[in-house]
């Protein structure tokens, strides 16, 4: 799902593998590697040393629930470089390959397609409302 965030913010990123039936939490096999690469340096992806399980209940873009504790193939943090421009989406591509660079194949012998999504810096996002009735200054 596209991510919108304000300057100075960071967020978590999780890549969750899915089975043919759609079940989330499928782990990488030995020799498989997931990369998450932004198209430019204004989006910073910092991977965790080892993929961590999801830290809360999430829902994928297609509505698939991903319960807290589900195994991931990649986890880390996404943040913005100070040179990021408001309202300029940056493509981020996730790819799964074998260690030798060859594509990982699905059950039908077809390469698993790369996924691309966007991260966009937006002007300060609304976090809360102010007081309705205050004391005049």
The residue extents of the domains of the chain are 3-121
CA angle 29, 74, 103 (to 5 degrees): 50
- Residues in Cβ contact with 27 at an 8 Å cutoff, skipping those fewer than 6 apart: 17, 71, 73
Q: What is the structure's pLDDT at 125?
A: 65
Tens digits of residue pLDDT in 118-132: 999 998 766 666 655
pLDDT at 8: 87
3-121, what's its fold?
A: Immunoglobulin-like (2.60.40)
Q: pLDDT averaged over the chain?
A: 90
Q: Average the pLDDT over 62-85 and give the result.
A: 94
Residue 65: CA count within 13 A, CB half-sphere: 5
Q: Which residues lie closer than 8 Å to 132 by C-beta, 6 or more apart?
A: none
Percent of the chain exceeding pLDDT 70 equals 91
């Amino acid at each position: 799902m596209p991510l919108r965030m304000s300057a100075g913010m960071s967020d978590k990123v999780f890549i969750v593998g899915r089975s043919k039936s759609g079940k989330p939490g499928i782990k990488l096999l030995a020799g498989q590697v997931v990369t998450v690469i932004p198209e430019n340096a204004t989006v910073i992806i910092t991977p965790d040393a080892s993929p961590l399980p999801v830290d809360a209940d999430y829902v994928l873009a297609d509505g698939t629930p991903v319960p807290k504790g589900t195994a991931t193939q990649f986890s880390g943090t996404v943040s913005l470089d100070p040179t990021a421009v408001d309202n300029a989406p940056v493509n981020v591509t996730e790819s799964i390959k074998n260690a030798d660079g060859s594509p990982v194949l699905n059950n039908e012998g077809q390469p698993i397609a790369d996924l691309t999504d966007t991260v966009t810096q937006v002007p300060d996002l609304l976090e809360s409302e102010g007081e309705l009735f205050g004391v005049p200054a």
